[in-house]
Structure 1
Amino acid sequence: MNKKTIGALFLTAITSSVMAGEMTVISFGGVSKDVQSEAFYKPFEKATGNKVVASEYNGEMGRIKVMVDTNSVNWDAVQVEGPELLRGCDEGLFEHLDTAQFGKPSDFVPGTFSECGAGLLVWSMAIAYNADKLKVAPTGWTDFWDTQKFPGKRGLRRGAKYTLEAALMADGVAYADIYKVLSTQEGVDRAFRKLDQIKPDIQWWEAGAQPMQFLASGDVVMSTAFNGRVFAGQESGANVQIVWKGSIYAIDSWAIPKGSKNKTMAEQFIAFSLRPENQKVHTEKLGYGSTNQQTAALLEPALAARLNTAPTNLGQAMPIDNEFWVNHGEELEQHFNAWVAKTN
């Protein structure tokens, strides 16, 4: 080993020693937190010498706002959903990111990078059905609404989001026009008229685990569900299948609360978590697609084909419009709740 190499190694060791520190990463907890520990936290600690303190929350933006407003920020990287990322960035709750350090945008799913966020995973809301109990496979929202061909209850998430998009797709509106139509009173009325057609056949769900339970018990013949939940069901041996046509996908992102004392370390962590080899572990365990399109080459082909980010599946899907829901969500949820409460 020459002097130059020895010197470089010595400098690296000193730098690592000096920079070693501790950061707090917040996610949604549960199984995903355990998987993130295996895929991201422990490997990052090993690679950098920095300690990751992992904790969880339920997406409460109020907690972040209080920390920022009182200059007492003790979170360094937080997993957030799209609308919260957009709103939090607008309100100055998150640091602006230099996303160039995370990789080439062309290597990632469109929409991965934004002013304040770097996409961690891609999740989808799709139609799922129990293939042991439904011998003819539904092919999309038209079949979801066809109670003659597919008699029985349908599971839908109790909320305006995803439900109104599905209704308009079932009514023949093209993906590209969904939010344009839903931005008008005529479009909203059209969506609710479509929902009226199957209202007596709807069994509402609120928790992510419920669709799989409803399908397993035969309470519903098909249901909307998070694709990761369907993946978990398949891994446990359930013959539950997913319909990608008309699925709606969204991206969860890492964000850094404004005023984090470990912003540089947090950015290093985010970049590390987006590497294909780390995303591979995350994707294999949870079944949610990787935002890094280079990850697919590291996966077993059969597994890659089951993901929402497989080109064939993503090509049949539409992205959710977070800005639309930030601007119109409150009024549409109120309208939806009033509609659900109506008995006639």
Structure 2
Amino acid sequence: MPARSFLAAVAVACATLLANLPAFAGPGDLVIVTREASFQRSLQEAYVQPFTALTGFPVQQQTWEGGIDALRTQLKSADNDWSLVLVDPDELAVGCSEGLFEKLDWSAIGGKDHYMPLAVSDCGVGALVSNTVLAWDRDKFPVTPTWADFWDVAKYPGKRGLHKGARGNLEIALMADGVAPGDVYKTLATAEGVDRAFRKLDQLKPYILWWTKDDEPAKALASGGVLMTTGPSGSIATRGREEHRNFGLQFAGSLYEVQSWAIVKGSPALKQAQQFLYFTGMPAVEARLLREAGTTGLTKGLNDNLPTDAQAISPSNPASLNNALRTDPGFWRDNGAKLRQRFEAWLDH
């Protein structure tokens, strides 16, 4: 389906679905909290503006840096005004266990069966798939690389972009060394596996261009500063679309995690938050987020009606998820401190 026809179809579907939303009412503004300002802008276009136009509910957006300590401090403060917050798996688990979030009334937001199993938990509904992929510029490098190719600087000379941190890089190094995705954490749980990952990183160290911010990988690709890079699929796909660049995204062997919406315990805007989740759980509405931010939620059937080129960049497309590795937050909660310390020491040598 051509992009223009697809967007027209989305508009018609949205108009039909919005007319049938359940009517909620409640006091107070709906305050939605996410991390990056760039995602906040995408959310405004994809979700907030049409939601407010339909319901008349005032919505404020705020950003936060993330982290369990910051979450506890904010949500326990007397002047907390957060209603709905986008959290990672660790933040969701802790917030739910400590009673910082409401237990979801699934009947009010479409029902559990409306979502892929990855999206469903007691206190959270999957908002988006955050995926770290291998990315490259097809106009400069016309093959589809693997992690083994990423390491092969003799065959494919050039700089490589990697995030400056242990998490993700150790998993990728093991996959580049031949470890199957399903065996990565079992291998990394051993001293031998950790040594193996760092030996693999040693091979690439002279060729690495480190990045720390999500927009840097796409910039490095666009400037020719790297031949290949890791990076968030959403920001790379969005920049490629905006600048008409032919960036490739390799989802096989990519790393992903589910970020979820959670409703703050005791929020006076509970009903508005439920209606927002109902609204954003519609496939036709979620499709807007793919265009604005290069990412998608986890509503069943979302990817079925996307055009082929959109399916190819959708992180929640089953074809993308089936060959990817889900990041294990429990592993990093238990082992992160010592692995980060070793990574910092490795960087200094």
- Pick from 67, 76, 84: which aligns with 2:91? 84
Structure 1 residue 195, shift from structure 2 partner: 0.9
Aligned position for 2:33: 26
Contact kept in structure 1, 2:118 and 2:298, CA below 8 Å:
no
- Pick from 215, 223, 231: which aligns with 1:217? 223
Given the alignment of the two structures, is residue 36 of structure 1 paired with residue 35 of structure 2, yes or no? no
Three-state SS of the structure 2 residue aligned to 1:88 is helix
Contact kept in structure 2, 1:140 and 1:243, CA below 8 Å:
yes
After TM superposition, list the pairs within 5 Å mapping 1:259-338 onto structure 2: 259-338=266-345
Distance in 2 between the 1:92 and 1:18 partners?
A: 24
Distance in 1 between the 2:183 and 2:257 partners?
A: 18
- Label 1:163 to 1:261 Cα distance change in 2 as closer, same or farther (>3 A): same
Distance in 2 between the 1:48 and 1:288 partners?
A: 25
Contact kept in structure 2, 1:73 and 1:257, CA below 8 Å:
no
Distance in 1 between the 2:299 and 2:233 partners?
A: 18
Distance in 2 between the 1:94 and 1:327 partners?
A: 24
Structure 1 residue 154, shift from structure 2 partner: 0.9
- Label 1:141 to 1:62 Cα distance change in 2 as closer, same or farther (>3 A): same
Given the alignment of the two structures, is residue 340 of structure 1 paired with residue 340 of structure 2, yes or no? no
- Pick from 175, 188, 201: which aligns with 1:182? 188
Higher Rg of the two aligned structures? 1
Which amino acid is the alignment partner of residue 64 of structure 1? L
Which amino acid is the alignment partner of residue 221 of structure 1? L
Q: Percent identity?
A: 37
Distance in 1 between the 2:203 and 2:117 partners?
A: 35
Distance in 2 between the 1:241 and 1:219 partners?
A: 16
- Label 1:22 to 1:70 Cα distance change in 2 as closer, same or farther (>3 A): closer
Contact kept in structure 2, 1:126 and 1:242, CA below 8 Å:
yes
Contact kept in structure 1, 2:25 and 2:271, CA below 8 Å:
no
Distance in 1 between the 2:31 and 2:47 partners?
A: 13
Distance in 2 between the 1:279 and 1:238 partners?
A: 24
- Aligned residue pairs total 327
Contact kept in structure 2, 1:139 and 1:245, CA below 8 Å:
no
TM-score with structure 2 length normalisation? 0.86
Structure 1 residue 200, shift from structure 2 partner: 1.3
1:91-131 deviation per Cα after TM superposition (whole angstroms, max 9, x unaligned): 43322223354345454333212222111111210111122
Distance in 2 between the 1:217 and 1:35 partners?
A: 24
Distance in 1 between the 2:202 and 2:107 partners?
A: 48
- Pick from 247, 260, 275: which aligns with 1:253? 260
Distance in 1 between the 2:317 and 2:50 partners?
A: 26
Distance in 2 between the 1:173 and 1:17 partners?
A: 50
Aligned position for 2:6: none
Distance in 2 between the 1:130 and 1:305 partners?
A: 15
Aligned position for 1:196: 202
Aligned position for 1:10: none
- Pick from 241, 244, 250: which aligns with 2:251? 244
- Label 1:16 to 1:293 Cα distance change in 2 as closer, same or farther (>3 A): closer
Distance in 2 between the 1:18 and 1:219 partners?
A: 52
- Label 1:330 to 1:20 Cα distance change in 2 as closer, same or farther (>3 A): same
Structure 1 residue 132, shift from structure 2 partner: 2.5
Distance in 2 between the 1:105 and 1:184 partners?
A: 37
Aligned position for 1:7: none
Distance in 2 between the 1:49 and 1:214 partners?
A: 42
- Pick from 21, 38, 58: which aligns with 1:51? 58
Distance in 2 between the 1:312 and 1:69 partners?
A: 41
